[in-house]
Chain A
Amino acid sequence: DVKVTQSSRYLVKRTGEKVFLECVQDMDHENMFWYRQDPGLGLRLIYFSYDVKMKEKGDIPEGYSVSREKKERFSLILESASTNQTSMYLCASSSRQGTRPLHFGNGTRLTVT
């Protein structure tokens, strides 16, 4: 079974801090994604990567950056955390081949105070 592991389940940070959210997958998937989930808004795509060192902006990239130095690891970076970035962050991966269903991690609930 594919395993997608997010490094923290809960995180509390202060406004202005630089925050790193880490995600690792163990199935050699080419594609990796970061979504944020907010009540009533569903999942919104922040960034995704289809190969090492490659990245594409999603629907809400402002205030975020990403890093993919190794195939199995995809990091989301909040350059200067703000309270409106308090949310559930979900990482996912998929194979490049075929219909590409996503495999999700269990999420990181980030609170920015």
Chain B
Amino acid sequence: SQQGEEDPQALSIQEGENATMNCSYKTSINNLQWYRQNSGRGLVHLILIRSNEREKHSGRLRVTLDTSKKSSSLLITASRAADTASYFCATDMDTGRRALTFGSGTRLQVQP
């Protein structure tokens, strides 16, 4: 099964509300990254958190990492209709594997 599993699979909120997406993984990591994908397009890198960090901010994005629980969350504050997209977590595993492993994604719909 996937290294990263996102929860929920789909999320629908109103503009202005906060959106929280969770990611769980199975093996030790060097870092965890979040990506965004607009419909029919490639993924865009949003933010990276290293294994020795607990929280990171970038604009309206806040990422937390709990390595003891092997989980991460992505919070988008004051969401906008333009935030509608799919969001993926990806892990850089501490196994020497040179490629990221992606989860199945959360589909976020922000209603105007």
Q: Which residues of A contact B (CB under 8 A)?
A: 4, 31, 33, 35, 40-45, 48, 50, 56, 58, 90, 92, 99-107, 109
Chain B, 75-112, contact with A by CB distance < 8 Å: what is the 0/1 string? 00000000000001010100000111111110000000
A58 — which chain B residues lie within 8 A by C-beta?
Answer: 99
B88 — which chain A residues lie within 8 A by C-beta?
Answer: 42-43
A106 — which chain B residues lie within 8 A by C-beta?
Answer: 40-42
Is the Cβ of A42 less than 8 Å from the Cβ of B33?
A: no
Is the Cβ of B98 less than 8 Å from the Cβ of A107?
A: no
Is the Cβ of B45 less than 8 Å from the Cβ of A100?
A: no
B31 CB-CB contact with A under 8 Å: yes
A-B contact count (CB 8 A): 59
B98 — which chain A residues lie within 8 A by C-beta?
Answer: 31, 48, 50, 56
Is the Cβ of B42 less than 8 Å from the Cβ of A90?
A: yes
Main secondary structure of the interface of B (DSSP, over half): strand
Main secondary structure of the interface of A (DSSP, over half): strand
